[in-house]
Structures are given as C-alpha cells and as structure tokens.
C-alpha cells in the first residue's frame, strides 16, 4: 500500500510539473507574439489552454482519489490538499496568458509606441517566479519559495513603471489611448501571473512548515 501511495504521489508531482511547463510556454508565446508582432506564435495557445484545463481536472481527481482511498497521514494530506490549491493557481495564471494573447492580436494591428523593454523584463521575471514556485512546492524547498515571494516586489515596480510611461503617452497624444491602455492591461496580466506564483510559494511554505505567511507575515525561515 505504501509503495502504491508513493507512486501516486510521484505521478501527482509529475502532472503538476507538466501543467506548469505548459503555462510557462503559454506566457512566453503570448509575449513573443506581442513583441515580435508574430501572430504565428499564438497558433497553439488555445490547444495549450485546453490541455491545461484537462490537467486541472485530472490533478483534482488524483487528489480526491488519494485522500479517499489512501487515508494519508497529516503531512501527506496537507501536501495533497496543497497540490489541489496549487493546481488552481496554475490554471488561473494560464488564463492570464490567454488574456495577453487576445490583447496581442489587437496590438499587432497598430503601430507600436516604442520598442518593448519593460514588458519582456516582466515576462522573464514572472515566468521565473512560476517555475521556481512550483519546483519549491514539488521538491519541498521553503527557502526557494521565500525567494519567489521577495521577487514579487520587483514585478510590481516594473508594472508601475509601465503604467507611468503609458500615462505619459496618453497625456501627450490622446490618439495613443487604445494602444497604451492595452499595454497597461498586459502589464497587469503579468503582475497577476506573479501573484499566482506568489500564492504557490506561500502554499509551499504552509505545506512544508505548517506556517501561514500570507498577508505580509514573516518571510524568513525559523531559527
């Protein structure tokens, strides 16, 4: 029974990693389409979303089945419940990638206001947060999870920089308002992706240490 449970737990981890990789790819493809004005980069994003949604259902079913049939110990139960919560955040951040792809299609039809600099920086940071948060959860690495949480402030600062820049364009030339607003919304989507990564990291710390650090409580490991 214990061997079967370990195999199921490994399968659960594998599916979470697979779902995370898909979500990361979706984010990258959506921004590639925007920055390079390359609609072909969006060719598979809807298929990827369908696969992410399928994995969400499959992972939740795995979690429910393990709880019902295996009667896991307290620490394993916390890990499984945490996996279900992480699963939800992964699906929601993939939705943000879809939102970006929709805006990218609109923005491609207009002349860019300037070369993209901050958006690619935000993307690299957000994707790294997603990747590291999930691996911190799967591999039970609370220190890595804390690092992810601390990076969120940098992502928020970049979003503010984008907002200020776009407000400047709109004030100088009202004709830029539609384009600039879409860029603001893309930055918001990337910031929300970072928020979901932060949720996963906070969840990892709760699962590993039994400590709820949401709402700005301590980020440092116990002495």
SS3 of 35, please?
helix
First to last CA, the chain: 36
The CA distances from residue 211 to 21, 205, 206, in Å, are: 27, 6, 5
Each residue of 182-195: pLDDT tens digit? Answer: 999 999 999 999 99
pLDDT exceeds 90 at position 175: yes
The CA distances from residue 75 to 14, 30, 147, 210, in Å, are: 19, 38, 23, 9
- State pTM to two decimals: 0.91
Each residue of 194-212: pLDDT tens digit? Answer: 999 999 999 999 999 988 7
The CA distances from residue 84 to 44, 130, 144, 173, in Å, are: 26, 16, 20, 47
CB 15 within 8 A of CB 87: no
Each residue of 106-126: pLDDT tens digit? Answer: 999 998 999 999 999 999 999
Distance, CA of 210 to CA of 187 (rounded, Å): 33
Distance, CA of 221 to CA of 20 (rounded, Å): 26
In the block, tokens 């030339």 appear at: 173
Each residue of 27-85: pLDDT tens digit? Answer: 999 999 999 999 998 989 999 999 999 999 999 999 999 999 988 988 899 999 999 99
User: Going from the N-terminus, what domains does the chain have, and what CATH number goes with each?
Assistant: 2-209 (1.20.58.220)
In the block, tokens 């298929």 appear at: 47
């Amino acid at each position: 029974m214990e061997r079967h449970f370990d195999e199921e737990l490994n399968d659960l981890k594998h599916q979470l990693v697979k779902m995370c990789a898909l979500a990361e790819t979706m984010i990258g493809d959506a921004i590639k389409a925007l920055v390079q004005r390359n609609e072909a980069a969006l060719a598979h994003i809807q298929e990827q979303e369908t696969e992410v949604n399928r994995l969400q259902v499959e992972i939740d079913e795995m979690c429910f089945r393990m709880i019902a049939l295996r009667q896991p110990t307290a620490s394993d139960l916390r890990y499984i419940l945490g996996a279900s919560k992480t699963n939800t955040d992964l699906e929601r951040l993939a939705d943000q990638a879809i939102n970006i792809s929709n805006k990218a299609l609109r923005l491609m039809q207009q002349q860019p206001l300037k070369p993209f600099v901050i958006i690619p920086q935000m993307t690299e940071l957000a994707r790294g947060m997603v990747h590291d948060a999930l691996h911190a959860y799967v591999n039970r690495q609370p220190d890595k999870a804390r690092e992810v949480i601390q990076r969120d402030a940098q992502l928020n600062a970049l979003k503010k920089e984008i907002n200020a820049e776009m407000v400047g364009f709109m004030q100088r030339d009202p004709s830029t308002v539609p384009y600039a607003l879409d860029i603001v919304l893309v930055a918001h989507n990337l910031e929300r992706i970072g928020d979901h990564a932060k949720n996963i990291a906070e969840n990892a710390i709760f699962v590993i240490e039994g400590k709820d650090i949401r709402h700005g409580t301590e980020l440092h490991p116990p002495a």
